[in-house]
């Protein structure tokens, strides 16, 4: 049987399929459920300096091919998530912190705190599209560079960056140039497509309430864009930065496509919300079957093997 194990930034993952930060990962009981599931890691909710209730309800809706949300980063505050890894160690899986500052000076405070914690990897979220009045930092390359400069040398735990989706080659190149300037071990791409609008024709209203119905689009709607981002960053960064692909992973075939594009691992968001905890083992098993059928000994052997047409 082909292996789906992977090593990211020197950390061993029993499976390259695991949860994305966001769905069902706010509380310790939710994180324990992820730990006991087939997820190859435990990714915690993107946390902020202070606890947040998030945006008003309804703020999430399932769609025919995915989801839309404007959650607004509801979380318990970073001090809680610094303590949770001690309670999650029994599952024997990497624990990944995800953090989101409200202003540039927040980021080094959060990173320093997690550097002193028992997390294995730290993901810096520069791409949340759903906080009212706050821009997606990842679209401002100078601001992204400035924030990452504040994080250089703060500790030895591997640092990654969660990126928004980009749509122009010059934007890929600009962000790649920023990443090359800093000690970034991995990137997670992509976050949802920000500020989409879904309307219910019967009620003549948006399907979510915050921001007049504007929210982040996920699921199958996102996959072609996510694949393009993974592929382009793989081309631009090579092996110097590992890539975690996220956006529309519902099946082993979806996961395999991300691996072909250059991803080391994949995260599951909308499918986890819609199917529940069983999605991780199912997708992993489907991926193994595809690797076996195609003669790959492991997912790592298939990484970046996308063929030219």
Provide the β-strand partners of residue 244: 188, 265
User: d(Cα 211, Cα 78) in Å, to the nearest integer?
Assistant: 25
In the predicted structure, residue 73 carries a pLDDT above the cut 90 = yes
pLDDT given for residue 283 in this prediction: 99
**Measuring CA to CA, which residue among 231, 188, 173, 236 is closest to residue 9?**
188
47 flagged as catalytic: no
Is residue 241 in some structural domain?
A: yes
Q: Judge contact between 1 and 24, C-beta under 8 A.
A: no
Average pLDDT, the chain: 97
pLDDT in tens, 162-194: 999 999 999 999 999 999 999 999 999 999 999
pLDDT in tens, 34-63: 999 999 999 999 999 999 999 999 999 999
CATH number at residue 107: 3.20.20.70
pTM of the model: 0.98
Take residue 28 and report the two structure tokens written for it.
């310790």
Task: Tell me: cis bond preceding 190? Omega within 30 of 0 counts.
Answer: yes
Domain carrying residue 14: 6-54+73-193+219-302
User: d(Cα 296, Cα 254) in Å, to the nearest integer?
Assistant: 16
pLDDT given for residue 129 in this prediction: 82
pLDDT in tens, 199-230: 999 999 999 999 999 999 999 999 999 999 99
Is residue 199 in some structural domain?
A: no
Take residue 306 and report the two structure tokens written for it.
């996308």
pLDDT given for residue 64 in this prediction: 98
Is residue 148 in some structural domain?
A: yes
CA distances from 6 to 11, 75, 94, 216, 248 (A): 8, 29, 11, 29, 20
Is residue 203 in some structural domain?
A: no
Is residue 1 in some structural domain?
A: no
Is residue 105 in some structural domain?
A: yes
Take residue 120 and report the two structure tokens written for it.
């294995």
Pairing of strands 193-197, 159-163: unpaired
pLDDT in tens, 278-291: 999 999 999 999 99
Handedness of CA 141, 47, 186, 260 (dihedral sign): negative
pLDDT given for residue 134 in this prediction: 86
Catalytic residue among 16, 82, 128, 189: 128
Provide the β-strand partners of residue 219: 66
Nearby residues of 23 by Cβ (< 8 Å), 6 or more positions away: 269, 270, 272, 273
- Owner of token pair 């504040």: 150
- Three-class HEC string of the chain: CCECCEEECCEEECCCEEECCCCCCCCHHHHHHHHHCCCCCEEEEEECCCCECCCCCCCEEEECCEEEECCCCCECCHHHHHHHHHHHHHHCCCEEEEECCCCCCHHHHHHHHHHCCCCCEEEEECCCCCCCCCCCHHHCHHHHHHHHHHHCCCCCCCEEEEECCCCCHHHHHHHHHHHHCCCCCEEEECCCEEEEECEECCCCEECCCHHHHEEEEEECCCHHHHHHHHHHHHHHHCCCCEEEEECCCCCHHHHHHHHHHCCCEEEECHHHHHHCCCHHHHHHHHHHHHHHHHCCCEHHHHCCCCCCC
User: d(Cα 234, Cα 243) in Å, to the nearest integer?
Assistant: 7
Calculate what percentage of the chain has a pLDDT beyond 90.
97
Is residue 204 in some structural domain?
A: no
Please state the domain count of the chain: 1
Is residue 210 in some structural domain?
A: no
Q: What are phi and psi of 231, to 5 degrees?
A: -60, -45
């Amino acid at each position: 049987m082909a292996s789906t194990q992977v090593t990211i930034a020197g950390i061993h993952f029993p499976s390259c399929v695991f949860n994305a930060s966001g769905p069902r990962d706010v509380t310790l009981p939710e994180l324990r459920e992820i730990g006991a599931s087939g997820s190859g890691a435990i990714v915690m909710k993107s946390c902020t300096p202070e606890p947040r209730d998030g945006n008003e309800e309804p703020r999430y809706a399932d769609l025919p091919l995915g989801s839309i949300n404007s959650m607004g980063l509801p979380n318990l505050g970073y001090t809680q998530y610094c303590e949770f890894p001690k309670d999650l160690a029994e599952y024997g899986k990497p624990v990944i912190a995800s953090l989101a500052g409200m202003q540039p000076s927040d980021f080094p405070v959060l990173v320093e705190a997690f550097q002193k914690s028992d997390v294995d990897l730290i993901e810096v979220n520069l791409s949340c599209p759903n906080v009212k009045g706050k821009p997606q930092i990842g679209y401002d390359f100078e601001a992204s560079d400035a924030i990452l400069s504040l994080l250089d040398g703060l500790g030895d735990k591997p640092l990654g960056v969660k990126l928004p989706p980009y749509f122009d080659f010059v934007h890929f190149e600009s962000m790649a140039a920023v990443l090359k300037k800093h000690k970034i071990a991995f990137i997670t791409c992509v976050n949802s497509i920000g500020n989409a609008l879904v309307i219910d024709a019967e009620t003549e209203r948006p399907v979510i309430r915050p921001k007049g119905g504007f929210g982040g689009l996920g699921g199958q709607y996102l996959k072609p864009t996510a694949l393009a981002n993974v592929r382009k960053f793989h081309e631009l960064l090579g092996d110097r930065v590992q890539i975690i692909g996220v956006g529309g992973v519902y099946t082993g075939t979806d996961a395999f496509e991300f691996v072909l594009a250059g991803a080391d691992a994949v995260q599951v968001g909308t499918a986890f919300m819609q199917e529940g905890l069983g999605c991780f083992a199912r997708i992993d098993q489907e991926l193994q079957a595809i690797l076996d059928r195609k003669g790959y000994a492991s997912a790592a052997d298939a990484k970046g093997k996308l063929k030219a047409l």
